[in-house]
Amino acid sequence: MKIDYLANHQHLIPVIARWYFDTWGKFSENPSIENVKIRLANRLNTDKLDICFLCFDDDCNNELIGTFSLRQKDIPHNEDLCPSLSHLLVIEKYRRQKIGETFINYAKQQAKNFGFEKMYLYTIDKTVHLWYERLGWKIIKEDVVGKFDIKIMETNL
């Protein structure tokens, strides 16, 4: 497995935008593929937040298998919680292989390299917070954004 910056693979923005839209578009206030592409274009950094990372299977012709981002202001009503892990996604055929855990550990190391001591995220899904809790994350707050209940979580780096 190889992790690299979206900045080095900008031609994949339409693919990632489709993944994001199909997974989280229903939660967006203004859902459109074009809006997702614009947001991804704002994550082309390599040395400061916001950063989007891509993961490739180097054993399978460098197939794109997932993505995640480290963001500065991502958590609704709590933009001061920084950095935040966002948009962690592993394509279906690669799930249940601990790739998501690898993404989290990589993101933690990157956040540490930026000088942070904690990392945050929020979930909308009704059960995914249980997976994060098994990995050491703690719910620090619950909130409502629009018509969706969210759980805000943190972990120490």
One-letter identity of residue 11: H
Per-residue pLDDT band at 31 (split at 50, 70, 90): confident
| Section 129-133 average pLDDT | 96
- Write the CB contacts of 112 (distance below 8 Å, at least 6 apart in sequence): 157
Residue 59 clears pLDDT 90, i.e. is over it: no
Range of the domain at 123: 2-156
CA 154 to each of CA 45, 80, 94, 108: distance values in angstroms, whole numbers, following the listed order = 23, 13, 26, 11
Residue 119: predicted pLDDT? 98
Q: CATH code at 97?
A: 3.40.630.30
For 85-97, how does the pLDDT look when each residue is reduced to its tens digit (9 = 90+)? Answer: 999 999 999 998 9
Using the predicted structure, report yes or no on whether residue 15 has a pLDDT greater than 90. Answer: yes
The sheet with strand 84-90 has its strands ordered as 2-5, 51-57, 63-71, 84-90, 118-123, 148-156, 138-145
Cis peptide before 74 (omega within 30 of 0): no
Task: Give how many domains the chain has, as a whole number.
Answer: 1
Q: Provide the whole-model pTM.
A: 0.92
* Token digits of residue 60: 């399978």
Q: pLDDT for 138-154, tens place per residue?
A: 999 999 988 889 999 99
> What's residue 52's pLDDT?
98
